[in-house]
Chains A and B, each alone.
Chain A
Amino acid sequence: MAMSKRQRAQYIRFAQYGVLIVVILLVAFLADWGQIRRAFFNTEIAASMFPNVITVALKNTIIYTALGFGFGLALGLVLALMKLSSVGPYRWIATVYIEFFRGVPALLVFIGIYYGVPIAFQLQFPPLTTVMLALGGVGAAYMAETIRAGIQAVPKGQVEAARSLGMSQGRAMITIVIPQAFRIILPPLTNELILLTKDSSLIYILGLFREQYELTKFGRETLSRSPSLTPILIAGLCYLIITLPLGYLSRYLEKRTGGKKVSVV
């Protein structure tokens, strides 16, 4: 049958809504809502988690993430500069580091740092330092590539202007290039922070004390004492308290830097 363009568009839209409604009805009828409510929405268990889920678990997740991000950013900057270095061995070391830590599961890295560092160097870090090294060490590998791309995205003319005013290469890098590079990479860097927030769940492997629990460990711990999945739901919602605003921030920054002229040529 011959359809006009408008008829066809209407027909396709109709079909799409139809499929959507069928799937929703299917799920609604097949799911056992009573069970789901009992499993995930046990208000008693949920209430028992407060206030510790906020004052301990959420707080610790934020602290661990911030420490890891801070260390990762610093190490990532060093790695990025090494990667851009004119000294060959610096480039190789940075490349090996980045490829290794990006290519290996974070969980393995955490285990390696937790058990490996004390063996290798005969020293035992306090837990917070271990968390910082583990999370930051992995984050640095991702951030290094982002920072390198940001540095290279700064127009060459900026360096030429700085050099022609008598700035040394290092001075131009610190005063002119790096500040501009960070403006450029703010949105992707915010995304790294979100990923790191979620990766902080893996540090349960470090065997923390009760007061050191972060959200995932706290949720699992509560889970083991209660016949309900409610703790997982609560923990998950707490992650969203961190990640949703960050995601919003990232998109906002992207829009802002995207609309603004970064360079003038």
Chain B
Amino acid sequence: MKRQVGILVDTTQCIGCMACEEACADRWGFPHTDVHELSCEKNTVVQQYGETYVPKLCMHCEEPTCVSVCPVGAFEKTAEGPVVYDESKCMGCRYCMQACPFQIPKYQWNKANPKVMKCDMCFDRQQEGKQPACVEACPVQARVFGYRDELIEEAEKKIKENQSTYVQHIFGTTEIEGTSTMYLAGVDFGKLGFPTNLPKRALPKYTWEIMEKIPDYFIWGSTLMAGFWWLTDRKKKVAAYEEESKRQKTQDEDNENNR
């Protein structure tokens, strides 16, 4: 397996200059707007929570929900880490949007042939040896791109050495078995719009533990049903036979009596 990459976002560093938003819009060909909400024309945004600016983008989960739920496999977790979407496969069921724990995938609601939009960590740029556009544009290194294991090491060191600045948790290391985009914060993650009730277990496991039983169920279930058919069929035949022989018997007896 390839060594996985990731992005570490330090919310204590972000100054809210929106350079990342601009760079992202340029890379995707989106219009430049002042709306700081993720949408089909905005794959990363910076949102303000009190004193803190929080850059938001796809979390690129280690075990992504979107990859698991998509009926046609339009999402893929690449070996390098980014989660990418192939619009040519999409049929538009929007289960990815419904299931994503971070509500990242957005939809082109006003198009007749719509597709899902989300950050792909600039996968094409990575293959050219470049960093994601937003990381490159950040003037204060609030977003750092690198190997995931190195980023975690670095982050752990940082929060240990600056205990008064940082909450002692790296968001994205324990939640749903990890994400490739990870966060550091100076205040509770719950106050910065992060979901705090996420299970430790990867979400796809909740459905897979049912789904994996289906082949067995199908074999045993149809055998059982065929068995029921055989039993009740036989019961009916036996009943019919008994009825018949009873009738025969009474007929014989009648004949006997008449004689």
Decide whether A and B are members of one complex: no
Q: Which residues of A contact B (CB under 8 A)?
A: none
Q: Which residues of B contact A (CB under 8 A)?
A: none
